[in-house]
Amino acid sequence: MNLHMDLSWTVIVNFVTLYGMKVLASLLIFFIGKKIAALLTAIVVKGMRKSKIDETITSFFSNVIYFGLLVVIILAALSNLGINTTSFLAVLGTAGLAIGLALQGTLSNVGAGILLVFFRPFKIGHSVQVAGENGTVEELNLFSVVLKTGDNKQIIIPNSAVIGKNIINFSAKPTSRVDLTFNIGYEDDLRLAKETLQEIVDKESKVLNEPAPFVAVSELAQTSVKLVVRFWVKNEDSATVSFSMTEKVKLAFDEKRISIPHPPLSNTPEA
């Protein structure tokens, strides 16, 4: 009886020793390999940035490289445990087909991400409108585009939603046109209003000389004459100049007694 127990104990100890060491070695392979993968990815990213490769491509491929290395590390850890990785890959391939059918949306995001990287409709730091959302591009990864809005909110948009709709890139060109519309009354001096607007836009230092700014009547509306002021600025100056011009026009119109008609009140009777 004692001999039988001694033999059983010896078998258990040998089993635990053998496979315990393998499990420990596999864990070491995984965790050390993960750190190495992160280090290698960082080295590649540093090299790409040093070579002045576009930040969008750098960000995307850093994800691809890291996850690719992680798959190799996991396979190495499993192989160390004695698992036949060839059979495992075959099973994984079969499972991958089933998972792929279940995760078509996710895989379409990856495909869309690849298209975004190679066609590059925008870059990191560009101001864009994608999938109906406005913001600055912070990140492009395998699955999504990350935007930061003007009020410092973060918007995460799936790549498939980005590639499937219109993309407006406000930063693709260095300058942009601004159109401001102002209303005056029919009884007001039209020439004076135009001269006032032209004088304000000509004095604005951030307005570009070429193409030349101009002021024109855009519409004879029901209750007012609509004047448009059209000029070009650098992209980064667009909002600042628009706000400044609007304020200056209001003050100048007040000074010169040029009216800004209010929209007519609704005549719909109250219920």
Look at residue 224 in the predicted model and tell me its pLDDT. 94
Is the peptide bond between 121 and the residue preceding it cis, with omega within 30 degrees of 0?
A: no
What was the pLDDT predicted at 271? 42
So what's the pLDDT on residue 101?
A: 46
pLDDT at 118: 79
Global pTM reads 0.59
Q: List per-block mean pLDDT (blocks of 10 residues) for the chain, which spans 271 residues.
A: 52 56 78 86 82 71 80 80 63 55 63 82 91 92 89 93 90 93 96 97 95 95 94 94 96 95 62 42
169 three-class SS: strand
Residue 103 pLDDT? 47
Which long-range contacts link 48-51 to residues 24+ away (Cβ below 8 Å)? none
Which residues, including other chains, have CB under 8 Å from residue 140's CB and lie 6 or more apart? 56, 59, 60, 113, 116, 117, 124, 146
Phi/psi class of residue 53: alpha, beta or left (left: φ > 0; alpha: ψ in -120 to 50)? beta
Long-range contacts from 97-104, C-beta under 8 angstroms, 24+ separation: none
Angstrom distance (rounded) from CA 61 to CA 14: 45
* pLDDT in the model for residue 149: 94
Question: Which pLDDT score, from 0 to 100, does residue 20 have?
Answer: 67
Rg (CA), the chain: 32
Residues written for the chain:
271
Write down the pLDDT at residue 19.
64
pLDDT at 90: 60
